[in-house]
Structure 1
Amino acid sequence: MSGRVPVPAGRQPGGGMVVPPALLHHRRSALTWVTVVVLGLGALVIAGIFVAVAGPGPFALVTFLAALAFPLILLVIFWLDRYEPEPTRYRLAALGWGGVVAVILSFVVESAAALVTGNESFASFAIVAPVVEETGKGLFLVAVVLLRRQQIHGLLDGVVYGALVGVGFAFVEDILYYLSALREGGAAGLTATVVLRGVMSPFAHPLFTSATGLGFGIGLTSRSPAKRVAAPVLGFLTAVVLHGIWNGSAVYGTRNFLLAYAVVMLPLLIVIISITIWARSREGRMLVAALQQTVQMGWTRPEEVRWVARLSDRVSARRYAGLHGGPHATRAMRAFQQTMIEIAFLHNRFVDGTAPRDVNARMLALLDRAAALRPYVILPPELARPTLGGPTPPAPPGWVPPGLPEWYGPGAGTRPSGAGWS
């Protein structure tokens, strides 16, 4: 297929392509629609309360100021997530959970706790608020594990989801703080709060919850039963402690706050970023290795690996497909690349011993989807094709990587009739 522009399936006289819609769209589950409705209504309720209390003008102003703090953080999160990007609906769900569910839970529980501890007490700021808020945010990861376990393939996925939840929470909390500062201190009070929260520390909540996400990511990719339990718990406790140090330092004045900022927050931010960059690089190497193994197993064609494994080549392949097949060809290429990525990550999870019990069924479904998309995929020519991690050695038909059971995958006789993925 590579190097040949014409693709019989779906070609139109004008050079465009028509791809069956079912191949380009994942069916939305009932859970997805319930999530959209619940989060949407919750967002409307929160916005309505803010408008009723402060008025539309101040609300619009502070919402704009709050939004300015997060584009850079979101770009960093999405950059980390490029090798195996999470579906857009799950990204939005994470943001929505942080900005709606976690905010509402925190407000209700903290308001009830304030009847005992008092609104301005140290216990309220440094103990109750961190525990309650990190619990509310961390419940999203629990929900993902219970309902969509397959969405977390490694520690980087946990960090990404945790950070997105933190961004959603921080955005709504910033609106609340900015409105309060504007009402109590006017323009000067608002400016000081924006500098403190929007300039100096917009990463605080994403950082706290990313610690929880890191724990979940480590636990879910471990073969040790003890580590599967201990890692998420330790991640959550780390988030609570960091949040408590952050809030507690603010209670004791500017000097202590700046000390905690310099000694704890910034170094930890560097550590988390370093870990995620290492994990991102590791994902890239794993993707290449897993795809090359699927080539040897007969699941993937050698010329397809480059256009899935290399980030820059993914973009080039989609651009080339669009030039020679139109918008539908671009979407087909994107869907094919995502399917091949999922095949590689699922295969790697099996090799690591952390795959779900229905790994065969999942793999067969992915391979069937790739086979259905393949006739509509237009690959660029293989000119000056670079090697990815060295040449792929030849393998006998039906080869299975050492250590894998013979029943794993279609090469061992579990292939449905007419699948045609080779």
Structure 2
Amino acid sequence: MSGRSPVPVTGGGAVVPPALLHHPRSALTWVTTAVLGVGALVIAGLFVAFGGLGPVALVTFLAALAFPVILLVIFWLDRYEPEPARYRLAAIGWGGVVAVILSFVVESAAALVTGNESFASFAIVAPVVEETGKGLFLVAVVLLRRSQVHGLLDGVVYGALVGVGFAFVEDILYYLSALNEGGAAGLTTTVVLRGVMSPFAHPLFTAATGLGFGIGATSTSRAKQVVAPLLGYLTGIVLHGIWNGSTVYGGRGFLTAYGLIMLPLLIVIISIAIWARSREGRMLLTALQQTVQMGWTRPEEVRWVARISDRVSARRYARMRAGKPAAQALRAFQQTMIEIAFLHNRFVNGTAPRDVNQRMLGLLDRAAALRPFVVLPPELPQPTLPGGPPGAATAPGWIPPGLPEWYGPGAGTRPTRAGWS
């Protein structure tokens, strides 16, 4: 229990237990928050010591202006199966704290050998070190929170968020240096080059790494699980190296790399992400229809979970009919149903964790506990998939080795526990 007081849903006195509205925070979450918080304070203190409070406040504001649009695009891509806010913040924090500190330490040590202004330092050392520091977040997610990676889009989202955090802090440093060395003119030039023309650079590099991790994490092929992340990581390094190396050749080299490589690849990555987003929407609807067939989901619930616009409309209706707590309960219920659908899809694709039944039981129990507090709009015709009416999808007809019998044929329409419908 979180310690919050129960929240009434209706005037009749029904309440939503706080534990149903708020996921408990693990020890890892608290440790991560503390480490990132302390690291951020250290970096901020160093910036103030280097440039003074006023200049730091100015360049921090200018650096922040570059990223709202990028974040909106990332969050839009992530709307079908939104990542928990704490993981989004952890990704940004990792890029802005851990990756920055690792890069500073390692690059400073390498500069003793290559020199600060050498081509090797710009085009080889910096890309390898920085993409490694950022990519370690994806390694940590796959190793410690594998259940959070449901597809290649999750990898792109996490990678891009890490890149945003790194670019934000790096921009502050570059802006401070430009202000100290070139005054207002130097700062303006740097802001245009980094904050206007290329704020997407670091998010793009690490999104390429994330794409590889997303593909590998959702593949049944052992070779692909290793090769895809490695190729994504190497792609990020190569892109970063080309970007940094182009600056050595002056404005013409920079503009050539910008127009012929960076912008086209940005379009490619965004196109892949939009395609993956569309596929997630279709998958979510299919999986929810399959859970209806298995008796875990009510048919009238599918519409208000599968479609983003209908999710919002349903929460608005719940708020109008029963107040803010009802909208909160519905939001929690929708998120739980989304998790059920994505876990079920992983089972169908053969990529489910071996404790899939335990996880599914927990999600079904949570959905069942929330269902009495759910207020839905009046029933409307259900959305259909091309080629068939609602309910045309069927449950999978096979069981991966080592999984208990209930998640598959021969076990009836649901697990042996009752109460999900």
Instruction: Give TM class, smaller chain.
Output: over 0.9
In the other structure, the counterpart of 2:361 is 364
- In 2, the alpha carbon distance for the partners of 1:305 and 1:154 equals 21
**Aligned-pair CA distance for 1:64:** 0.1
- In 2, the alpha carbon distance for the partners of 1:39 and 1:296 equals 45
- In 2, the alpha carbon distance for the partners of 1:249 and 1:11 equals 59
Moved more, 291-300 or 404-413: 404-413
Confirm or deny: 8 A CA contact 2:159 2:210 kept in the other structure: yes
Change (3 A) 1:416 1:109: same
Confirm or deny: 8 A CA contact 2:127 2:237 kept in the other structure: yes
Specify which of 275, 295, 300 is matched with residue 298 of structure 1. 295
Specify which of 236, 243, 246 is matched with residue 246 of structure 1. 243
Change (3 A) 1:139 1:151: same
In the other structure, the counterpart of 1:415 is 415
**Aligned-pair CA distance for 1:17:** 5.0
1:232-271 map, 5 Å: 232-271=229-268
In structure 2, give the amino acid aligned to 1:174.
D
In the other structure, the counterpart of 1:90 is 87
1:332 and 2:329 aligned: yes
In the other structure, the counterpart of 2:390 is 392
Confirm or deny: 8 A CA contact 1:16 1:325 kept in the other structure: no
**Aligned-pair CA distance for 1:388:** 5.0
How many aligned residue pairs are there?
409
1:81 and 2:81 aligned: no
Change (3 A) 1:269 1:394: closer
Partner SS, residue 120 of structure 1: coil
Specify which of 190, 199, 209 is matched with residue 212 of structure 1. 209
1:105 and 2:124 aligned: no
Q: Deviations over 1:185-236 (max 9, x none)?
A: 0000000000000000000000000000000001111111101100000000
- In 2, the alpha carbon distance for the partners of 1:410 and 1:180 equals 62
Confirm or deny: 8 A CA contact 1:126 1:245 kept in the other structure: yes
**Aligned-pair CA distance for 1:394:** 7.2
Aligned-pair Cα RMSD in Å: 1.8
In structure 1, give the amino acid aligned to 2:243.
W
- In 1, the alpha carbon distance for the partners of 2:177 and 2:331 equals 45
**Aligned-pair CA distance for 1:325:** 1.5
Confirm or deny: 8 A CA contact 2:122 2:245 kept in the other structure: yes
Confirm or deny: 8 A CA contact 2:135 2:206 kept in the other structure: yes
In the other structure, the counterpart of 2:64 is 67
In the other structure, the counterpart of 1:30 is 27
- In 2, the alpha carbon distance for the partners of 1:221 and 1:132 equals 27
- In 1, the alpha carbon distance for the partners of 2:397 and 2:209 equals 35
Change (3 A) 1:318 1:12: closer
Confirm or deny: 8 A CA contact 2:398 2:408 kept in the other structure: no
- In 1, the alpha carbon distance for the partners of 2:392 and 2:317 equals 29
In structure 2, give the amino acid aligned to 1:409.
Y
**Aligned-pair CA distance for 1:385:** 4.9
Q: Deviations over 1:369-409 (max 9, x none)?
A: 100100000010014554455423479xxx74323468143
- In 1, the alpha carbon distance for the partners of 2:75 and 2:13 equals 31
**Which runs of 5 or more residues in structure 1 are unaligned?**
1-8
1:156 and 2:137 aligned: no
In structure 1, give the amino acid aligned to 2:397.
P
Of structures 1 and 2, the one scoring higher in RCO (CA 8 A, sep 6+) is: 1
**Aligned-pair CA distance for 1:310:** 0.4
**Which runs of 5 or more residues in structure 2 are unaligned?**
1-6
- In 1, the alpha carbon distance for the partners of 2:245 and 2:14 equals 60
In the other structure, the counterpart of 1:401 is 396
Q: Deviations over 1:250-278 (max 9, x none)?
A: 01111011000000000000000000000
**Aligned-pair CA distance for 1:10:** 6.0
Confirm or deny: 8 A CA contact 1:17 1:325 kept in the other structure: no
Q: Give identity over the alignment, percent.
A: 81
Partner SS, residue 81 of structure 2: coil
**Aligned-pair CA distance for 1:415:** 3.1
**Aligned-pair CA distance for 1:28:** 0.5
Partner SS, residue 392 of structure 1: coil
Q: Deviations over 1:289-345 (max 9, x none)?
A: 000000000010000000000000000111111111111111110000000000000
Confirm or deny: 8 A CA contact 1:363 1:409 kept in the other structure: no
Confirm or deny: 8 A CA contact 2:382 2:390 kept in the other structure: no
Partner SS, residue 119 of structure 1: coil
In the other structure, the counterpart of 1:4 is none
In the other structure, the counterpart of 1:180 is 177
Moved more, 408-417 or 365-374: 408-417
Confirm or deny: 8 A CA contact 1:16 1:326 kept in the other structure: no
Partner SS, residue 16 of structure 2: coil
- In 2, the alpha carbon distance for the partners of 1:107 and 1:304 equals 51
In the other structure, the counterpart of 1:6 is none
**Aligned-pair CA distance for 1:43:** 0.2
Confirm or deny: 8 A CA contact 1:306 1:388 kept in the other structure: no
Confirm or deny: 8 A CA contact 1:223 1:354 kept in the other structure: yes
Q: Deviations over 1:4-53 (max 9, x none)?
A: xxxxx96543x675211111111100000001000000000000000011
Confirm or deny: 8 A CA contact 1:43 1:100 kept in the other structure: yes
- In 2, the alpha carbon distance for the partners of 1:42 and 1:173 equals 15
User: TM-score w.r.t. structure 2 length?
Assistant: 0.94
